[in-house]
Amino acid sequence: MPWTDDNLMSLQSHVLVEERHHPGATGDFTWILSAISLATKTIGNKVRRARIEDVIGELSEHNVQGEQQQKLDVISNEIIKSCLGSRANIGALVSEEEETPTVLRSHDDGGRYAVLFDPLDGSSNLDVSVGVGTIFSVVRLGDGVKGTPENMILTPESKQVAAGYVLYGSSTVFVLTTGQGVDMFVLDHSIGAFVLVKRDLMIPTSQKIYSINEAYVDRFPAGYRSYLEWAHEDGYSSRYIGSMVADIHRTLLKGGVFIYPPTDDRPEGKLRYLYEAMPMSMIIEQAGGRSIAGNQGRLLDIKPTSLHERIPVVMGSTDEVDHVERFLS
């Protein structure tokens, strides 16, 4: 039966079909994505029950970013590690919540991939039931690259081969790219599976929406302030949730531009390159949009030098990113 819009396609079956486009694919990839699917279903259940299970709120600890850890940050981090740790082809895990990578196995022992993730982005919004999410990037480690896990992940020979996020919002939405476009799934709780709802998502080329925290406007570089003045005069709407996964998901579906600029106190911006900006940039580009690191050009052309480095972010509809870029150059 040819694939049609009314076929029921789960995330697992979709990835198996996609794998056929990759001659020589060994099923490694499907195995990793199935672990991410299991982990995010579990996290979604925890997020929905957070208030009931009293896991709302902060821990006394701070993470490597110096940010107050939420109880669910730590729980989500452990869930992802316990699901991915059993996958025989993963060499290392990098989490926003941990300073150093979790090394699972060497390249010689079959560790072909690294998975980089923010287990629960936007978690400070949990106690007010605002959409939060998991962001992940799958990196194929360069063959024959030796050295510390950090060097293996950061070497130019290692390539991002998949990226995605799961938004725990009014529904649990899984957005994924493996380099062949962007597909969207929604968790059907009645069968416990992510079902395909949209193939080849394309971001609108223009939309008069900008998403930025204007409270910091006095600390932005002049180019961003000039862009905002222009946008105000040109009748733009402002939409800002303060949870990157929710802001990017709206931008992907409706169009517009998401901006997290450098500020006086954070000259590199706030968002982390490896497990926030890099995966979201792959998704936006695969959907036909653009992603630049402020006035430094295409974000994915910039090679990170440390696991937790931050980078300015301007991503979304091509025309909208072009408008911002004009004011930054």
Which residue of 107, 270, 310, 323 would you call a contact of ligand P6P, by CB under 6 A? 270
Residue 45 CB, shortest distance to ligand P6P, in Å, is 21
Binding segment (CB under 6 A) for ligand P6P, from list 34-42, 74-82, 165-173, 237-245: 237-245
Instruction: Look at residues 174, 161, 81, 62 and name the one whose alpha carbon lies nearest to residue 119.
Output: 81
Of residues 29 and 273, the one with the C-beta less far from ligand P6P: 273
Which residue of 90, 244, 315, 324 would you call a contact of ligand P6P, by CB under 6 A? 244
Give yes or no for a contact between 49 and 42, defined as CB atoms under 8 angstroms apart.
no
Question: Binders of ligand P6P: how many residues, by CB under 6 A?
Answer: 9
Q: How far is CA 279 from CA 1, 141, 291, in A?
A: 34, 16, 11
Task: Give the whole-angstrom CA distance, residue 134 versus residue 80.
Answer: 10
Binding segment (CB under 6 A) for ligand P6P, from list 1-9, 44-52, 155-163, 243-251: 243-251
Task: Give the whole-angstrom CA distance, residue 170 versus residue 241.
Answer: 14
Q: How far is CA 302 from CA 101, 120, 161, 281, 289, in A?
A: 21, 25, 16, 12, 17
Instruction: Look at residues 187, 167, 298, 317 and name the one whose alpha carbon lies nearest to residue 255.
Output: 317
SS3 category, 275: helix
Binding segment (CB under 6 A) for ligand P6P, from list 2-10, 17-25, 241-249, 316-324: 241-249
Of residues 231 and 248, the one with the C-beta less far from ligand P6P: 248
Residue in this structure with the two tokens 């204007």, named with its chain if needed: 214
> Per-residue string for binding with ligand P6P, 190-229, x by CB under 6 A?
-----------------------x----------------
How many CB atoms within 10 Å of residue 241? 18
Residues in a beta bridge with 115: 93, 138
Binding segment (CB under 6 A) for ligand P6P, from list 45-53, 116-124, 197-205, 315-323: 116-124
Helix then strand then coil, % of the chain, to nearest 5:
35, 25, 40
| Residue 73, token pair as written in the block | 């940050």
Of residues 236 and 258, the one with the C-beta less far from ligand P6P: 258
Instruction: Look at residues 320, 313, 262 and name the one whose alpha carbon lies nearest to residue 291.
Output: 313
Residue 161 CB, shortest distance to ligand P6P, in Å, is 24
Of residues 91 and 262, the one with the C-beta less far from ligand P6P: 262
Of residues 183 and 247, the one with the C-beta less far from ligand P6P: 247
Residue 177 CB, shortest distance to ligand P6P, in Å, is 19
Of residues 147 and 242, the one with the C-beta less far from ligand P6P: 242
Under the criterion CB under 6 A, does residue 102 sit at the interface with ligand P6P? no
Under the criterion CB under 6 A, does residue 312 sit at the interface with ligand P6P? no
Which residue of 10, 45, 68, 124 would you call a contact of ligand P6P, by CB under 6 A? 124
Instruction: Look at residues 155, 89, 83 and name the one whose alpha carbon lies nearest to residue 119.
Output: 83
Under the criterion CB under 6 A, does residue 242 sit at the interface with ligand P6P? yes
Give yes or no for a contact between 209 and 256, defined as CB atoms under 8 angstroms apart.
yes
Which residue of 40, 63, 177, 243 would you call a contact of ligand P6P, by CB under 6 A? 243
Residue 62 CB, shortest distance to ligand P6P, in Å, is 13
Contacts of 171 (CB under 8 A, 6+ apart): 186, 187
Binding segment (CB under 6 A) for ligand P6P, from list 38-46, 77-85, 119-127, 153-161: 119-127
Please give the residue ranges that form the binding site for ligand P6P (CB under 6 A). Answer: 121-122, 124, 213, 242-244, 247, 270
